[in-house]
Amino acid sequence: MSGVLVLDAAQTRACLEPDPLAEALTVALVAVARGEVSAPPRIAARAPAGLLGVMPAHVPGLGLAAKLVSVFADPADPGRSSHRGVVALFDEQDGRPLALMDAESVTAVRTAATATLAMRTLATPGANRIAVLGTGVQATAQVDLLARKAPATPVVVGGRDAGRTAALAARHPHATADTVEGAVRGSDVVLCCTGAREPVLRRAWLAEGAHVGSVGGSHGPELDPDTVRDGSLFVEWTGAVTSPLPAGAHELQGCLPDRAALLGSVLAGSHPGRRDPRELTVFKSTGHAALDVAAAAVAYAAARERHLGTNLEL
């Protein structure tokens, strides 16, 4: 097929099936750990009211892609920002543009899938209760994924707004709503998906042997210093620790580089991951362009197979 396949938000989400996406993310994370990914530092052009970020990457065997995303204040949600853009996928052999798809859908779904992959890799087996903190786009993507892949596992949604928290909990067949602290206490896994500007999680609330996944905190630290201090840290890429803000993680600024292990190394079998059932494991995600490549490749393959999208000659 010639031309460029264009997928809207609904089509993009429909093509990101959990199992193929998890497989592609594993390939990408292992490639990052092995130094096989080409991904330059993030860059952004700044406008008076926001910015346009550009994140290209090549993952051997998956593809070549770039995400262009604008980050502007959201008038409908004061204090929060909107993220809008596209992911462009190219043929890694001859450079032909293959597809354009919705960046917000790609980011939300692949981030939830990465956090879930980290949970399955690092948490103690047989987690009996999962807390999801937040009520926004990313928390919704996380609850939706758990509803599909772990519908029988009890989930507790923790948030500040009781109505929004209850509405999100209703999307999972075995979820309840609670405060943030109430959701964390007694949970085996805590997945933080907030737009926090200051820590929403306290070390004292965590159960022994808990696993914490943090994918939010773009504007500030989502985890408190005690959780970072006590946890065995795992990240997608070394820049989460070594890069200054905004590329690096707020919580990991000032940490020694060897404090954090790569999730891809655990997936590849070169790092043991969790060593003890009582250990606190912490996965801090900042995102990586290689994960966008993985998601774009999965969405494109599914769209071609299912004849979704609009094909355009540019």
Report the pLDDT value the prediction gives residue 112, as an integer from 0 to 100: 98
Three-class secondary structure of residue 55 per DSSP? strand
Note the pLDDT tens digit of each residue in 169-225: 999 999 999 999 999 999 999 999 998 889 999 999 999 999 999 998 778 999 999
pTM of the full structure: 0.95
73 pLDDT tier (thresholds 50, 70, 90): confident
Please tell me the distance from the alpha carbon of residue 79 to that of residue 81, in angstroms, as a whole number.
7
Note the pLDDT tens digit of each residue in 291-311: 999 999 999 999 999 999 999
Report the pLDDT value the prediction gives residue 246, as an integer from 0 to 100: 83
Report the pLDDT value the prediction gives residue 79, as an integer from 0 to 100: 56
> Does residue 80 have a pLDDT over 90?
no
The single residue listed with the structure tokens 């003890």 is 276
Residue 158: beta bridge partners? Answer: 133, 178
Please tell me the distance from the alpha carbon of residue 27 to that of residue 57, in angstroms, as a whole number.
14
Record: fold of 114-284: Rossmann fold (3.40.50)
Report the pLDDT value the prediction gives residue 314, as an integer from 0 to 100: 83
Please tell me the distance from the alpha carbon of residue 19 to that of residue 73, in angstroms, as a whole number.
34
More confident residue, 246 or 153: 153
Note the pLDDT tens digit of each residue in 247-283: 899 999 999 999 999 999 999 999 999 999 999 999 9
Residue 123: beta bridge partners? Answer: none
Q: Please, what is the average pLDDT of the chain?
A: 95
Nearest CA to 11 among 105, 78, 113, 85? 105
Note the pLDDT tens digit of each residue in 111-142: 999 999 999 999 999 889 999 999 999 999 99
Percent of the chain with pLDDT over 70: 98
Q: Which CATH number fits domain 4-106+289-312: 3.40.50.970, 3.50.50.60, 3.30.1780.10, 3.40.50.720?
A: 3.30.1780.10
Within 10 Å of residue 24's Cβ, how many Cβ atoms? 27
More confident residue, 82 or 28: 28
The single residue listed with the structure tokens 């070549």 is 64
Q: Parallel, antiparallel, or unpaired for β 189-192 and 310-312?
A: unpaired
Q: Indicate the domain borders of the chain.
A: 4-106+289-312, 114-284
Please tell me the distance from the alpha carbon of residue 286 to that of residue 39, in angstroms, as a whole number.
14
The pair of structure tokens assigned to 275 is: 């060593």
Listing DSSP states for 251-283 in one string gives GGTT--GGGEEEHHHHHHTSS-----TT--EEE
Three-class secondary structure of residue 107 per DSSP? helix
Residues 6 or more apart whose Cβ sits within 8 Å of residue 291: 25, 28, 29, 110, 111, 114, 236
Report the pLDDT value the prediction gives residue 168, as an integer from 0 to 100: 98
53 pLDDT tier (thresholds 50, 70, 90): very high
Report the pLDDT value the prediction gives residue 255, as an integer from 0 to 100: 95
Report the pLDDT value the prediction gives residue 72, as an integer from 0 to 100: 87
> Does residue 62 have a pLDDT over 60?
yes
Mean pLDDT of 48-61: 94
Crossing angle for the helix pair 289-306 and 103-122, to the nearest 10 degrees = 110
Give the distance from CA 228 to its chain's centroid.
19
Report the pLDDT value the prediction gives residue 78, as an integer from 0 to 100: 62
**Dihedral angle, C-alpha 50, 140, 156, 128, nearest 10 °:** -110
DSSP state letter for 308: -
